[in-house]
Copies of this chain bind each other. A is one copy, B any other.
Amino acid sequence: MWPLDRGSKKPLFEQIVDEIERRISYGEFPPGSLLPSERKLAEQLGVNRSTVVLAYAELRALGMIESQTGSGTRVTKHKWGITPKHTPNWHRYVEGGSFLPNLPFLRRIREALQKNKALIDFASGELGADLSPVKEINTLMDENHYTEYLGYDNPQGFVPLRQALVAYLEHYRGIQTTESSILITSGSQQSLYLITQCLLAPGDAVAIEDPSYCYSLPMFQSAGLRLFRLPVDDKGVRPEEIRSLYKKHRIKMVFLNPNYQNPTGTVLDPERRVELLHIASELGLPIVEDDPFSLTDYHGTPPQPLKSADSIGSILYIGSFSKIAASGLRVGWMVAPHSVVERLADARQQMDFGLSVVPQKVAAQFLNSFYFRPHLDRLRMDLLYKRDLLIEALQKELPDLVSFSVPQGGLHLWCKIGTEVNDHKLLEEAIRNGMIYVPGSVYGSDSGYVRFTFARPKAADIPLGVSKFAAALRTVLG
Q: Which residues of A contact B (CB under 8 A)?
A: 1, 22-23, 25-31, 33-34, 80, 83-91, 93-94, 96-99, 101-102, 107, 110, 114, 124, 126-129, 132, 134, 137-138, 141-142, 145-155, 176-181, 185-187, 189-190, 193, 197-202, 217-219, 222-224, 252, 281-286, 310-315, 325-331, 335-340, 343, 346-347, 349-359, 362
Closest chain B residue to A114 by CB distance? B154
Kindly identify which residue among B97, B137, B148, B353 contacts A198, using a CB–CB cutoff of 8 Å.
B97
Among B87, B185, B282, B353, the residue within 8 A (CB) of A186 is B353
Determine if A177 and B27 form an interchain contact, defined as CB atoms under 8 angstroms apart. Answer: yes
Q: What CA separation (Å) do A353 and B84 show in the bound complex?
A: 41
Assess whether B132 is in contact with A180, with CB atoms less than 8 Å apart: no
Q: Using Cβ atoms and an 8 Å threshold, which residues of chain B touch A281?
A: 85-87
- Identify A31's interface contact among B114, B145, B176, B312, CB under 8 A: B312
Other than the known A150-B325, A330-B356, what 6 A-B pairs have Cβ atoms closer than 8 Å?
A: A27-B313, A28-B177, A29-B337, A87-B314, A98-B202, A114-B154
A189: contacting residue among B88, B187, B351, CB under 8 A: B351
Q: Nearest-CB distance from A66 to chain B (Å)?
A: 16
B-side contacts of A359, CB under 8 Å:
356, 358-359
Task: Please classify the interface of chain A as helix (H, G, I), strand (E, B), loop, or mixed, using the class held by over half of its residues.
Answer: loop
Q: Please state if B217 and A326 are interface contacts (CB–CB under 8 Å).
A: no
A97 touches B328 (CB 8 A): no
Of the candidates B25, B193, B337, the one whose C-beta lies within 8 Å of that of A351 is B193
Give the distance to chain B from A11, nearest Cβ to Cβ, in Å. 22
Residues in B whose Cβ lies below 8 Å from that of A148: 134, 328
How many of these chains are in the complex? Answer: 2
Contacts of A180 in B (CB 8 A): 1, 28
Whether A88 and B152, one on each chain, are in contact in the complex, defined by CB atoms closer than 8 angstroms, is: no
Q: How far apart are A386's CB and chain B's nearest CB, in angstroms?
A: 16
Report the separation of the CA atoms of residues A30 and B355 in the bound assembly, to the nearest whole angstrom.
27
B154→A137 contact, CB < 8 A = no
Cβ–Cβ < 8 Å partners of A137 in chain B? 146, 150
Partner of A97, one of B90, B199, B337, B362: B199
Does B149 lie within 8 Å of A134, measured CB to CB?
yes
Give the chain B neighbours of A1 by CB distance below 8 A: 178-180
Nearest-neighbor residue (CB-CB) of A163 within chain B: B1
**Residues from chain B with Cβ under 8 Å of A217 in the complex:** 350
Please pick, from B91, B107, B138, the residue contacting A147 in the complex, using a CB distance under 8 A.
Answer: B138
A-B CB contact pairs (8 Å), 27 listed:
A25-B176, A26-B181, A27-B337, A28-B337, A30-B337, A80-B311, A85-B281, A87-B313, A93-B199, A96-B199, A98-B197, A98-B200, A98-B223, A99-B350, A110-B155, A132-B149, A132-B150, A134-B150, A138-B145, A138-B146, A141-B141, A190-B351, A218-B350, A327-B353, A330-B352, A356-B359, A359-B359
